[in-house]
Amino acid sequence: MLKSFFAFLFAFISAEMLTAQGVTVRAFVNETNATLGNPIYYTVEIQGGTGGDVVPPASNSDIDIQRNSISASQSMSIVNGQMSQTKSLTFIAVPKKEGKVTIPPATVKIGGQVLTTNSVSLTVSKSGTPQSQSPNGGTFSGGSEIFIRPVVDKTKLVVGEGATITYKLYYKLNVRQYTSEEDIKPEGFWVERFDVSKLPQVTERYNGSMYHVAVINKIQVFPTRAGKLEISGYKGTCEALISDVKRQRGFLFDDFFASPGRMQRLSVAAPAVRFDVSELPEPKPSSFNGAVGDYKFTATIDKPEVKVGEAVTLKFNVEGEGNINLLPTINPDLPSEFEKYEPKVDVKVNKNTSVVTGYKTTELTIIPRASGKFDLGTVEFSYYNPQKKQYVTLTSPRFELNVEPDPKAAMASVSGTGEKRDIKKFAADFRYIKTSTSSLRLGTSSPLYKAWWFYLLMLLPVGAVAFFLVLQKREEQMKADVAFARSVKASPEAKKRLKRSKELLKQSDQQAFFAELENALIKFIGNRYNTDDHALRKDEIKALLLSKQVAPELIEKLMRILEKSEFYRYAPAKETQDDLTLLYEDASQIISELSKTR
């Protein structure tokens, strides 16, 4: 028995020593162009043997490498009677530094020997830069056992046009649970979310390999301003059963014969998605108020004949595909003989398909205060259709209303009180007519050329010429100096947008109010300090204002408004009129104070 044991031990040691002979090791990554903070996959491969212990490089200030492998595979081949074996272990690595990064060699202990792999060089770009582009416009960081791929239907948009992003989790591992860790940051976008809880998991061939695929998030985004905008990266974690040996005989074969393993928590991430957003074309119809999509428009009046003081209801319905929440509230101008009440608005948003649809209905109650036949005219609704690349104007039927006198009102009009009021007015009209000439005198004024204002009028043409010369010089300076021109127009443009936001506040259109208020602040900062406002984020705005020595309390007010606007787009909630008024006043103060800075 003892001899058998020593014989077995001798054979085992000999096999290990033989295994170390002719063994080569190497290391590689799935992406040499990585993104700051986004995981990549670092693999150590042992050729010529399947034994040995792999020790990955230690984490450092440039890159963080997990100590436990997320997958293992081994294969065997026989060529010309020679058998070769290969084993691979894959680890997750997260770049922590921008620029050129080098992963040190890994260590492989086999057969009493210590082997080292090659080092691996990476180029790490700023966070949010896509690693690669899919054919349909989506970006992904693929080529491994598990990854998230955002699929985008289009990336070239106009302001207000919707784009759908579907985040798909591709995996070959036995995934038990997925949890979202860091959601997108939709700066410059209105976001609508779809329910993905009932979507089935499917299998899909991607880049030549079969994967399980689960939709983990699906959104439709609507840009609220033009420029180079992006949706930030999307991150999550998975709990997966990692087998120690993963067979390489096919996708379904591996699933069926997977060996027992251990549960491990894995980080997965999708890179940012970039959009090129253009301004809406000019000229815009006079009835256009920001609607983008494909809509139908209907308008009705509940009755053609009423009496004085009787309520009439006008109903306007806009239905179709687009950002339903930001559709304008239709509130037409009416003759002065009508008293108009605040409109009643009903909004219904459907998110059962890949696009947002729904309707917005406005009911307007009016009361005529005079009798007669009134032509209320027509109401126009205009929108921009991105597919047709043109504006569409829809017109309601012409509304005509016959208002009959109210007998009670007629009796009041001939009462004694009414007659006295009319006579009193009549007397007032002639009260200051003088019938006597005793107070009239001949004029005794001096000649015109002796009056001081005569010479002031003579100087007016000279002053006008000087004014236009200064104006011309200013125009030339603005054409030659872009920074000066943007600084000059910063305040007037901001005041126009603030005025528009105040009108939206009065109309209780909170969605449009937040969008206009945010645009006013961001575009003002871009013009005031001659920077690209199309891509400004909150952290960049804060850093810019700090460099300009703006008061911290003013910066905090600005950050609070931008965060409030972003939160409202992300998760709309009804705000009180007092809260909105306070936000408007804070925005006015911010623009006023920043106008004084250099």
Check whether 113 has a pLDDT greater than 50: yes
CATH number belonging to domain 21-127: 2.60.40.740
Higher pLDDT, 545 or 390: 390
CATH number assigned to the domain with residue range 128-279, chosen from the 4 options 2.60.40, 1.10.10, 3.40.50, 3.30.530:
2.60.40
* Count of other CB atoms within 10 angstroms of residue 305: 12
- Distance between CA atoms of 563 and 539, rounded to whole angstroms? 11
Check whether 420 has a pLDDT greater than 80: no
Check whether 233 has a pLDDT greater than 60: yes
The pLDDT, as a whole number, for residue 82 is 62
- Residue keyed to tokens 């014989």: 7
- Distance between CA atoms of 243 and 173, rounded to whole angstroms? 9
Q: What is the mean pLDDT of the chain?
A: 78
**Phi–psi pair at 516, nearest 5 degrees:** -70, -40
Check whether 350 has a pLDDT greater than 80: yes
CATH topology of domain 284-407: Immunoglobulin-like (2.60.40)
pLDDT-based confidence at residue 456 (cuts at 50, 70, 90): confident
Residues forming CATH 2.60.40.740 domain(s) in the chain = 21-127
pLDDT (mean) for 245-251: 43
Higher pLDDT, 252 or 384: 384
Q: 476: which DSSP letter?
A: H
Among the listed ranges 6-10, 70-74, 327-331, 589-593, which one has the minimum average pLDDT value?
Answer: 6-10
pLDDT-based confidence at residue 77 (cuts at 50, 70, 90): low
* Count of other CB atoms within 10 angstroms of residue 267: 16
The pLDDT, as a whole number, for residue 555 is 87
pLDDT (mean) for 400-415: 68
pLDDT (mean) for 187-212: 85
Residues 6+ apart with CB under 8 A from 73: 87, 88, 245, 246, 247, 248
The pLDDT, as a whole number, for residue 483 is 60
Residue 43's nearest CA partner among 62, 26, 55 is 26
The pLDDT, as a whole number, for residue 443 is 58
Among the listed ranges 88-97, 122-131, 346-355, which one has the minimum average pLDDT value?
Answer: 122-131
3-class SS at 428? helix
For the chain, percent of residues with pLDDT exceeding 70: 76
Tens of pLDDT, residue by residue over 423-438, are 344 444 444 556 666 6
pLDDT-based confidence at residue 557 (cuts at 50, 70, 90): confident
The pLDDT, as a whole number, for residue 124 is 87
Residues forming CATH 1.20.120 domain(s) in the chain = 475-594
- Distance between CA atoms of 44 and 501, rounded to whole angstroms? 59
The pLDDT, as a whole number, for residue 50 is 62
The pLDDT, as a whole number, for residue 423 is 35
Check whether 316 has a pLDDT greater than 60: yes
Q: 133: which DSSP letter?
A: B
Residue 176's nearest CA partner among 92, 62, 264 is 264
Catalogue the long-range contacts made by 329-336 (C-beta closer than 8 Å, 24 or more residues apart).
329/360, 329/362, 329/507, 329/508, 329/509, 330/362, 330/364, 330/379, 330/381, 331/362, 331/364, 331/507, 332/364, 332/376, 332/377, 332/379, 334/366, 334/376, 335/374, 335/376
CATH number belonging to domain 475-594: 1.20.120
372-377 and 399-404: which strand pairing?
antiparallel
Beta strands in 81-207 (DSSP E): 82-95, 99-103, 107-110, 113-116, 120-125, 146-152, 156-158, 163-171, 174-182, 189-193, 202-206
Tokens matching residue 143: 């080529």
